[in-house]
Amino acid sequence: MTKDLLQVKITELRNKEKLIPIEERPYLINSLNMIQDQFEKNYKLLAENNLNIIDEILEEIQRLENCDLKRISKKEFLDRSEF
């Protein structure tokens, strides 16, 4: 579920809140706030994780670009490979 879709669903539920008996509303509001907070925390963690993965990929690319690669023959490659 995307962040925008979650916001829409929470807004819809908040609008329906008026149909819920007054004594039950605090529970609904508290639950909605908890769901929204948890989603935002998870969303931030996912974004941070994706950035970390991108950083690792960029570091590996940099490492490979700085590597002194030599050409090997097809036979030499096949000899080294474990098929």
pLDDT digits (tens, 9 = 90+) for 18-62: 777 777 778 878 888 898 899 889 999 999 999 999 999 988 888
d(CA 39, CA 46): 10
Determine the longest span between alpha carbons in the chain, in angstroms.
Answer: 79
d(CA 13, CA 8): 9
Confidence of residue 83 (pLDDT cuts 50, 70, 90): low
Model confidence, pTM: 0.49
pLDDT digits (tens, 9 = 90+) for 10-20: 778 777 767 77
Query: Residues with Cβ < 8 Å from 9, sequence gap 6 or more?
Result: 1
